[in-house]
Protein backbone atom coordinates (compact mmCIF):
# COMPACT_ATOMS: atom_id res chain seq x y z
CA UNK A 1 0.00 0.00 0.00
CA UNK A 2 1.28 3.43 -0.91
CA UNK A 3 1.96 5.91 1.89
CA UNK A 4 1.73 9.60 1.09
CA UNK A 5 2.42 12.51 3.42
CA UNK A 6 2.07 16.17 2.68
CA UNK A 7 1.86 19.72 3.89
CA UNK A 8 -0.71 22.24 2.71
CA UNK A 9 -0.37 25.98 3.24
CA UNK A 10 -1.85 28.91 1.34
CA UNK A 11 -1.14 32.61 1.58
CA UNK A 12 -4.19 33.42 3.70
CA UNK A 13 -3.99 30.20 5.70
CA UNK A 14 -7.69 29.52 5.40
CA UNK A 15 -9.65 28.01 2.52
CA UNK A 16 -7.11 26.48 0.14
CA UNK A 17 -5.02 24.97 2.93
CA UNK A 18 -7.93 22.81 4.07
CA UNK A 19 -9.49 22.28 0.64
CA UNK A 20 -6.18 20.86 -0.61
CA UNK A 21 -5.95 18.60 2.44
CA UNK A 22 -9.48 17.31 1.91
CA UNK A 23 -9.01 16.73 -1.82
CA UNK A 24 -5.85 14.71 -1.25
CA UNK A 25 -7.35 12.67 1.58
CA UNK A 26 -10.45 11.81 -0.49
CA UNK A 27 -8.46 10.76 -3.56
CA UNK A 28 -6.05 8.64 -1.51
CA UNK A 29 -8.97 6.99 0.32
CA UNK A 30 -10.50 6.04 -3.05
CA UNK A 31 -7.25 4.30 -3.97
CA UNK A 32 -6.78 2.67 -0.57
CA UNK A 33 -3.61 4.64 0.18
CA UNK A 34 -2.41 5.70 3.58
CA UNK A 35 -2.23 9.48 3.77
CA UNK A 36 -1.45 12.10 6.38
CA UNK A 37 -1.60 15.80 5.64
CA UNK A 38 -0.15 18.45 7.91
CA UNK A 39 -1.82 21.83 7.58
CA UNK A 40 -0.03 25.08 8.26
CA UNK A 41 -2.88 27.53 8.30
CA UNK A 42 -4.38 30.42 10.16
CA UNK A 43 -4.74 28.21 13.24
CA UNK A 44 -1.06 27.23 13.23
CA UNK A 45 0.21 23.71 12.54
CA UNK A 46 -2.30 20.86 12.74
CA UNK A 47 -1.77 17.14 12.27
CA UNK A 48 2.02 17.61 12.44
CA UNK A 49 4.05 14.97 10.63
CA UNK A 50 6.63 13.03 12.61
CA UNK A 51 10.14 12.25 11.34
CA UNK A 52 9.12 8.59 11.22
CA UNK A 53 6.01 9.27 9.11
CA UNK A 54 8.10 11.27 6.66
CA UNK A 55 10.79 8.57 6.52
CA UNK A 56 8.20 5.81 5.90
CA UNK A 57 6.39 7.71 3.14
CA UNK A 58 6.63 6.61 -0.48
CA UNK A 59 5.96 10.15 -1.67
CA UNK A 60 5.62 13.66 -0.28
CA UNK A 61 3.46 16.47 -1.59
CA UNK A 62 4.09 20.06 -0.57
CA UNK A 63 1.00 21.99 -1.67
CA UNK A 64 2.31 25.32 -0.48
CA UNK A 65 1.99 28.91 -1.63
CA UNK A 66 4.19 30.27 1.16
CA UNK A 67 7.31 29.23 3.01
CA UNK A 68 6.51 26.60 5.63
CA UNK A 69 7.93 25.75 9.01
CA UNK A 70 10.13 22.68 9.07
CA UNK A 71 10.69 22.38 5.33
CA UNK A 72 14.15 20.91 6.05
CA UNK A 73 12.38 17.76 7.33
CA UNK A 74 11.82 16.79 3.69
CA UNK A 75 15.40 17.23 2.42
CA UNK A 76 16.18 13.51 2.40
CA UNK A 77 13.01 12.74 0.42
CA UNK A 78 13.85 15.59 -1.98
CA UNK A 79 17.29 14.08 -2.55
CA UNK A 80 15.53 10.81 -3.43
CA UNK A 81 13.25 12.61 -5.91
CA UNK A 82 10.17 11.75 -3.86
CA UNK A 83 8.79 15.27 -3.33
CA UNK A 84 6.26 17.06 -5.50
CA UNK A 85 5.80 20.79 -4.82
CA UNK A 86 2.93 22.85 -6.18
CA UNK A 87 0.40 25.54 -5.40
CA UNK A 88 -2.53 24.33 -3.27
CA UNK A 89 -5.03 25.47 -5.93
CA UNK A 90 -3.32 23.19 -8.49
CA UNK A 91 -3.73 20.24 -6.16
CA UNK A 92 -7.42 21.04 -5.61
CA UNK A 93 -8.13 21.34 -9.36
CA UNK A 94 -6.04 18.36 -10.50
CA UNK A 95 -6.00 15.94 -7.56
CA UNK A 96 -6.33 12.81 -9.71
CA UNK A 97 -3.37 13.83 -11.89
CA UNK A 98 -1.35 14.84 -8.85
CA UNK A 99 -1.83 11.48 -7.12
CA UNK A 100 -0.90 9.78 -10.42
CA UNK A 101 2.31 11.84 -10.43
CA UNK A 102 3.03 10.84 -6.82
CA UNK A 103 2.66 7.17 -7.81
CA UNK A 104 5.35 7.63 -10.44
CA UNK A 105 7.95 9.36 -8.28
The dihedral through the CA atoms of 8, 105, 96, 89 has a sign that is: positive
Any catalytic annotation for residue 28? no
Q: Which of 10, 61, 63, 99 is catalytic?
A: 10
Strands 44-46 and 34-41: antiparallel
Q: What are phi and psi of 67, to 5 degrees?
A: -65, 145
Q: Which residues are catalytic?
A: 10
Amino acid sequence: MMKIVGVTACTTGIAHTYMAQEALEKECAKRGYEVKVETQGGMGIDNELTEEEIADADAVILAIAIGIEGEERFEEKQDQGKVLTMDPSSLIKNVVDVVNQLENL
